[in-house]
Structure 1
C-alpha cells in the first residue's frame, strides 16, 4: 500500500482528482489530477530552479470536493494541502514557484508577499510535521 519515495521537499499530487466540481474526466477520459501531474512535470523539466522539489503522485488525497489537489511537504516543515486548481501550466508554475520558496524556508512558512498569485486562495489545510505542532 505504501511506496517509498525520496524524503525531501515534494509536491505530492493526487492523480485521480476531478478536473472541476462538474467534470471528472476530459474528452480523452483523463482525470484532472493526471493532467496536473503532467503539467507539473513539464514545467519542472523546463526550469532548473525546480530541481530541488520532487513531483510525486498518488491516487486520492481524500479532498475530492476540492479537485486538483496537491500536498506540499518536507522533513521538519509544516505541510500544506492546496486545491481547486485548473490542471494547466499556469497552475503548475504557481505551485512550483511556491514550492521553491517553501523548500528554502526554515519551517515551511513562506511570507505572504512571496506567494505567487496563482496559489492565493488555494490553501485548504496546514499539517504539522511528525513530532511537532505549529506555534
Structure 2
C-alpha cells in the first residue's frame, strides 16, 4: 500500500466515542433510544413525547453533550448523547416541540464548562 493510500485510510475512519453505541430515532408520538452494548443484547427505551416534563442538558466537554429527559414525578426517562446517531435531530425536535426552547438551546451551545447543567424548565436549588 502506498503512502497516499495509507494516509487516506487513516483519515477515512471517524473517531468513535462511547456515544456511538447510542442511537435515537424519532416518531410522531414517541422517540426510541437504542443502546448497543458489545456482546450483549441491545437495550431499547421508548418514550412518549407527552411524558416529558423537564429536560437537562449536560455539557460533555470534549466528549458528547447529553440530554436527560424526565417525567413529571422526576423519573429519568432516557439519556440521549447529542453527538450520537440521531442526537442532533433529537435536539431539533426538542426545540420544535418547545421542550428545550431555542433561546435555552443557544445557552447550551455556548456552554464551555464540562459537566455544566442547563435545565428546562429551570430548576432551583440544583
Q: Note whether the superposition's TM-score is higher than 0.5.
A: no
Normalized against structure 1, the TM-score is what? 0.28
**Where is the strand percentage greater, Structure 1 or Structure 2?**
2
Normalized against structure 2, the TM-score is what? 0.29
